[in-house]
Amino acid sequence: MATLPHHLGRSLAEALRYVAAWKGRTVVVKFGGSVLDSPSLGTLPQDLVLLQQAGVRPVLVHGGGPEITRLLERLGKTTRFVNGLRVTDEETMEVVEMVLAGRVNKHLVTLIHRAGGRAVGLSGKDAALLRARKHAPGVDLGLVGEVAHVEPKVVEVLLDAGYLPVVASLGFGPDGVSFNLNADSAAAALAVALRADKLIVLTDVEGIYRETPQGRELLSELTPEAARTLITEGVVSRGMIPKVEACLAALEGGVRSAHIIGGEIPHGLLVELFTDTGIGTMIRKREPEA
């Protein structure tokens, strides 16, 4: 810690206050980037393990886009995207499932294990954790689904036994058909079902920015209303929209706060959780005045 014990002591006191506050609370972390390209993972595995050792109950939810594309290409299969969503036929779905549940998921489990934790990988199909139905936005996207119901018990059983659950965003459709789920909204739905206190979405930017005459400004705290206005005004755009919407869905479902933070800052997860200022953008309802 910095050189002056005076500052150090004060920082520790602040951090311990947060440690006490988060003890026993569930925090769902969503990580979407490429795993094999491990620099983007940064200190995530280590941070999750530290969180768990400090008494927090972390759950990791992940997607795995780039890896899927890579395998599809090797198999000579081209993908069509409609509004940013991959049209998923049966053969594609097989590949999605193998990559998410068999490759990305087990790689994350391994990295957490190396950092000293005991992770257990699940997909939304295990114990029918994430029940899904077809996503039907007007065009037929094939096996793209949305979460219909979450049965969170298996995650709670594993947390209670001291394991760190890692969940691949696959859904269990009618008759056991597999569905491809958006990982941001899967994480939000799981956070709601677990009555989590926080949803933290890791991205490749550091949070939500606004352009000002003085340059770009990171917004460190927003109300849900303000976040919706930013979408309407186009300040939040493209890839950031589904992330913000997942945050809003989590808040509506009772999660206390939702965060969008940069995944590459070393120990960013810890800084966001254990300091007053944090590093990214937190969305939270305004508390009624006492």
Q: Does residue 208 sit in helix, strand or coil?
A: coil
Among the listed residues 77, 97, 63, the one whose alpha carbon sits nearest the alpha carbon of residue 185: 63
Residue 175 binds to a second copy (criterion: CB under 8 A): yes
> Binding string, 44-63, against a second copy, x = CB under 8 A?
--xx--xx-xxx--------
Rounded to the nearest whole angstrom, what is the least distance from the CB of residue 102 to a second copy in the complex? 2
Rounded to 5 degrees, φ, ψ at 215 are: 115, -170
Rounded to the nearest whole angstrom, what is the least distance from the CB of residue 179 to a second copy in the complex? 12
When binding is defined by CB under 8 A, the residue of 82, 139, 157, 226 that contacts a second copy is 157
> Binding string, 191-230, against a second copy, x = CB under 8 A?
----------------------------------------
Rounded to the nearest whole angstrom, what is the least distance from the CB of residue 135 to a second copy in the complex? 20
Known catalytic residue at 65 = yes
The residue from 63, 207, 243, 280 that is catalytic is 243
> Binding string, 115-134, against a second copy, x = CB under 8 A?
---xxxxxx-xxxx------
Distances (CA, A) of 165 to 62, 143, 189, 215, 220: 11, 25, 15, 40, 29
Kindly indicate which of the ranges 110-118, 215-223, 234-242, 281-289 contains the residues binding a second copy, using the contact rule CB under 8 A: 110-118
Known catalytic residue at 33 = yes
Known catalytic residue at 184 = yes
**What is the number of other CB atoms lying within 10 angstroms of the CB of residue 2?**
8
The residue to which tokens 């193998």 are assigned: 98
DSSP codes joined into one string, 13-29: HHHHHHHHHHTT-EEEE
Among the listed residues 269, 54, 57, 27, the one whose alpha carbon sits nearest the alpha carbon of residue 163: 57
Residues catalogued as catalytic? 30, 33, 65, 184, 243
